[in-house]
C-alpha cells in the first residue's frame, strides 16, 4: 500500500535521530517529509543545507521538516553534526517508510541498475492528509518552493 494525494496517510513510526518518530504524535502540525538517497553526498548535503536555512520559516508556518534515507542513526548523527541540521532524520534501513511513500526506484549508476531512493518530498497537513508531493526532485530552489507551498496552506 502506498500513500495517495488528498487521502489520510496511515500512521507509521520509525527510528529517528533524537528518538523514534511517530506520525500520530504530530497531529495539528504540518509535516514536510523529504526522502533523499544518502547522507553526506553532494546533492543530499545541499538539500539538507537549504532545508536547514529555511527551518525557522517552516516553524513559523507550523511545519516540521523530517528527512528520510536508508542510512543508520549513527550516519545521520554524523551528518547532523557536520551540517548543523536542526531537524530529525529517519533511519529507514528496512525501507518500510520508503515503500509506504513509493520512493524506491531502479536507477542507472555507472551503467548498472541499482535500487535507490528517488529524491521526493511530501507535505502532510495538520489533519494527517497528504496535500502535496514532488517526485524526482531537483535540489536547487526546491526547499524554497516547498516553503512557499506550506505558507500557502495558511
Note whether residue 101 is domain-resident.
Answer: yes
Q: For residue 130, what are the β-bridge partners? A: 124
Note whether residue 6 is domain-resident.
Answer: no
Average pLDDT, the chain: 96
What domain count does the chain have? 1
Handedness of CA 128, 148, 105, 70 (dihedral sign): negative
Stretch 25-43: mean pLDDT? 96
Q: Which three cell numbers stand for residue 82?
A: 557536520
Note whether residue 5 is domain-resident.
Answer: no
Note whether residue 100 is domain-resident.
Answer: yes
Q: pLDDT tens across 49-107, in order? A: 999 999 999 999 999 999 999 999 999 999 999 999 999 999 999 999 999 999 999 98
Note whether residue 45 is domain-resident.
Answer: yes
Q: Which three cell numbers stand for residue 129?
A: 492528509
Note whether residue 81 is domain-resident.
Answer: yes
3-class SS string, 74-94: HHHHHHHHHHCCCCEEEECCC
Least confident span in 35-44, 102-111, 127-136: 102-111
We report the CATH number of the domain holding residue 83 as 3.40.30.10
As a whole number of angstroms, the distance between CA 57 and CA 101 comes to: 25
Note whether residue 8 is domain-resident.
Answer: no
* 104 contacts: CB under 8 Å, gap ≥ 6: 95, 98, 115, 116, 117, 118
Domain membership of residue 109 as a residue range: 13-152
pLDDT of residue 110: 85
Active-site position among 14, 32, 44, 146: 44
Judged against a pLDDT cut of 90, whether residue 126 lies above it is answered with yes
Question: For this structure, is 98 an active site residue?
Answer: no
Classify residue 79 as left (phi > 0), alpha (psi -120 to 50) or beta. alpha
Q: What is the pTM of this model?
A: 0.96
As a whole number of angstroms, the distance between CA 105 and CA 128 comes to: 25
pLDDT of residue 135: 96
Judged against a pLDDT cut of 90, whether residue 9 lies above it is answered with yes
Confidence band of 154 (pLDDT split at 50, 70, 90): confident
Amino acid at each position: 500500500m502506498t500513500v495517495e494525494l488528498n487521502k489520510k496517510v496511515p500512521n507509521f513510526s520509525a527510528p529517528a535521530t533524537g528518538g523514534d518518530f511517530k506520525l500520530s504524535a504530530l497531529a495539528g502540525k504540518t509535516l514536510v517529509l523529504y526522502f533523499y538517497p544518502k547522507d553526506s553526498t553532494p546533492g543530499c548535503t545541499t538539500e539538507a543545507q537549504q532545508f536547514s536555512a529555511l527551518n525557522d520559516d517552516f516553524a513559523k508556518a507550523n511545519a516540521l521538516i523530517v528527512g528520510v534515507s536508508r542510512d543508520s542513526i549513527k550516519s545521520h548523527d554524523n551528518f547532523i553534526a557536520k551540517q548543523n541540521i536542526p531537524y530529525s532524520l529517519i533511519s529507514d534501513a528496512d525501507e518500510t517508510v520508503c515503500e509506504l511513500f513509493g520512493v524506491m526506484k531502479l536507477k542507472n549508476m555507472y551503467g548498472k541498475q541499482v535500487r535507490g531512493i528517488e529524491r521526493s518530498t511530501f507535505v502532510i497537513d495538520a489533519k494527517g492528509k497528504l496535500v502535496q508531493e514532488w517526485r524526482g526532485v531537483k535540489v536547487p530552489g526546491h526547499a524554497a518552493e516547498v516553503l512557499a507551498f506550506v505558507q500557502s496552506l495558511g
